[in-house]
Structure 1
Amino acid sequence: MKPLRVLCLSGSLRKRSGNTALLLAASALAPASMELRVYGGLGTLPLFNPDDEAVSLPSVVAALRDEVGASDALLIACPEYAHGVPGPFKNLLDWLVGSLEFPDKPVVLWNASARESHHAQDALREILATMSARFVESACTTVPLPGAGCEVGDILGDAAQCRRIADSLSALAGALAGLRADQCSRHL
């Protein structure tokens, strides 16, 4: 059986982003049955304009949509900025709203904030629900990082963080295996 493909989306453009480090750590901890790929094109996406969808989709947007379509699930780690979703990440989501690849896509939300940070998570849930995401609640979690500048090695060196990540990935693998089994039984 081919590995489960998970596209990881960081909502941060920071070079030393804790959210990106968290996703990179997850890719290092992923079980052999799961392939995690961290998307690196957030900063290259043009500003969303519905006219561009109707005429000719920008190539970087088409590539993003192709990656979403080829993935079994999305794993999102997004920071909170001014009590909301950072503009570049909202822009990414806007480009996916009209896509055929996104609806009913399994989605996992990770919160990397060590403090009470829920506004962006609440907003993300609302946006993604509107976009017809299928939340994998058993895999959604908070992995409290110390803040900006957290490195992959810091996360991998913390047994409690590694356990949280591994537990979440295990829950995601189980949920996706169940979805695959359901799809196979429907085709019989």
Structure 2
Amino acid sequence: MSEMTAEPVIRILAVSGSLRAVSSNGAVVEALRMLAPDGVRVQVFRGLDSLPHFNPDLERGTATIGSVERWREALRTSDAVVICSPEYAHGVPGAMKNALDWVVGSNEFFCKPVALVNAAPHAHFAQDALAETLRTMGAALKAEASVAVRASGAGLDAAGIAADPALSTALLGALAILADRARSAAAELARQWPDGVPPS
């Protein structure tokens, strides 16, 4: 009898677009980490506040900017990304947009499965703008894995969100779909490039 090979763990990078020490968006991404099912590992990226203002003149020297390289490496080593961002004045917060600007030229989002979580369903302008930016960058935005949850203003921390039946069900569903899409994407890449090296 042949031995069964376990499926590799799907690595999902969770990013909050808020820099606040206590925020609904930060609580949501921490709840995603807590809720990660078997076969899925959620890593929370906490370095948006350390990224310098994007300047195209610095692009060639980013190897010396540790915070930029850590952001790019976190994206490169993830199978999928989930972003939970607030809306400020009908727009994407500057720190979140700045982080995306740093990876436009390096292409870490290209073909990467991405889901958006909206912690404040009444606000949609930032979500729409974020989705447009990600599509322009070539991300594989997964609408079926993107959800709106009423976490903002609920007064819940990450543990409270993970324990709430409605919120946890929605977030678990998003994780399951995103992980499934990431597995499919990995299988397709393996089919196209069996040796693991895409053509340059």
TM-score band w.r.t. shorter chain: over 0.9
The aligned runs of 1:1-188 (5 Å cut-off) are 1-57=7-63, 58-114=65-121, 116-147=122-153, 150-187=156-193
Q: Distance in 1 between matches of 2:141 and 2:50?
A: 27
TM-score (norm 2): 0.88
Q: Call closer, same or farther: CA 1:154–1:111 in 2, change over 3 Å.
A: same
What secondary structure does 1:35 align onto? strand
Alpha-carbon offset, residue 157 of structure 1: 2.5
CA contact (8 A) 2:13 2:43 kept: yes
Q: Distance in 1 between matches of 2:48 and 2:23?
A: 13
Alpha-carbon offset, residue 149 of structure 1: 5.2
CA contact (8 A) 2:62 2:69 kept: no
Q: Call closer, same or farther: CA 1:155–1:148 in 2, change over 3 Å.
A: closer
Alpha-carbon offset, residue 101 of structure 1: 2.2
Corresponding residue of 2:197: none
Unmatched tracts of structure 1, length 5 or more: none
Could you give the per-residue CA deviations for residues 41-75 of structure 1, whole angstroms, max 9, x where no partner exists? 01111111111112344111011101101110110
What secondary structure does 2:138 align onto? coil
One-letter amino acid of the counterpart of residue 85, structure 2: C
Q: How many residues are matched?
A: 187
Q: Distance in 1 between matches of 2:93 and 2:159?
A: 25
Q: Call closer, same or farther: CA 1:101–1:108 in 2, change over 3 Å.
A: same
Identity in percent: 42
Alpha-carbon offset, residue 183 of structure 1: 2.2
CA contact (8 A) 2:12 2:78 kept: yes
Q: Could you list the runs of 4 or more consecutive aligned residues of structure 1 that deviate by over 6 angstroms after TM superposition?
A: none
CA contact (8 A) 2:113 2:181 kept: no
CA RMSD across the alignment: 1.5
Alpha-carbon offset, residue 148 of structure 1: 7.6
TM-score (norm 1): 0.94
CA contact (8 A) 1:136 1:172 kept: yes
Q: Call closer, same or farther: CA 1:87–1:29 in 2, change over 3 Å.
A: same
Alpha-carbon offset, residue 143 of structure 1: 1.2
One-letter amino acid of the counterpart of residue 158, structure 1: D
